[in-house]
Structures are given as structure tokens and as C-alpha cells.
Amino acid sequence: MYKHSMFHWKYDQMYTNCSCCNLKYEIEPGFFIGAMYVSYVFIVAELVNAGILAFMLFGDKDEWAIIGTTIAPVILLFTFNYRYARTLLLHVLSHIKYSEDAGRNC
């Protein structure tokens, strides 16, 4: 689905069609704009979990450590959030159905 790995500078470049089944990934213009909402859910979950962990580690003593600990996972996982929000949106809202034979045909 993606031209490069998640750790490449061009992590956001996608193929237009699947090399195996020729499925067009962007079903309609602006389809992946909806991935922002999925990414938002990922980010909120990361912030809540990191915030709880930060308060458990630091208590109320060091505000900057709490802020840094809370924001760090969001910054470190931005490529994960971007790619998997698009992938999840594509699988949930498209007509793609899993088939065990699909991998053997490529």
C-alpha cells in the first residue's frame, strides 16, 4: 500500500492501485481526509495513557516532566498514526473483503 517503510522520509507516499488486484486505494477524491478523525482517536488514546503514566511517575511535582512524558508518544508515533489511520479507514469503509487466496495470486 505504501511505497516506503514507516521510517523513511517519504513515509506518506502511497501507490494509487494495488499491485496484486488493481484496487484503487483512494475510492473518491478526498477519501483519506476522514483518516484525520481516526488519527484523532489514536492521538487522544495515546495522550490519555501517557498522561496517566506521567502522573503515576511524577505526581504533582514536576510539570515539565509531565508535559514532556505526555506529548512524547504522540511525536514519536506520528508516522504510525498517519499510516494506520488511513489503512483502518480503507478497511472499514471500503468494499474490501479478506480472502486467503488473495496473497497466493500475487
The reply to whether 100 falls in a domain is: no
The reply to whether 104 falls in a domain is: no
- Whole-structure pTM value: 0.76
Q: pLDDT (tens digit, 9 = 90+) per residue, 50-97?
A: 999 999 999 888 899 999 999 999 999 998 998 999 888 888 887 766
The reply to whether 50 falls in a domain is: yes
The reply to whether 106 falls in a domain is: no
Q: Can you give the pLDDT at residue 52?
A: 94
The reply to whether 21 falls in a domain is: no
The reply to whether 10 falls in a domain is: no
Q: Which domain holds residue 49?
A: 32-93
Per-residue three-class SS string for the chain: CECCCCCCCCCCCECCECCCCCCECCCCCCHHHHHHHHHHHHHHHHHHHHHHHHHHHHCCCCHHHHHHHHHHHHHHCHHHHHHHHHHHHHHHHCCCCCCCCCCCCC
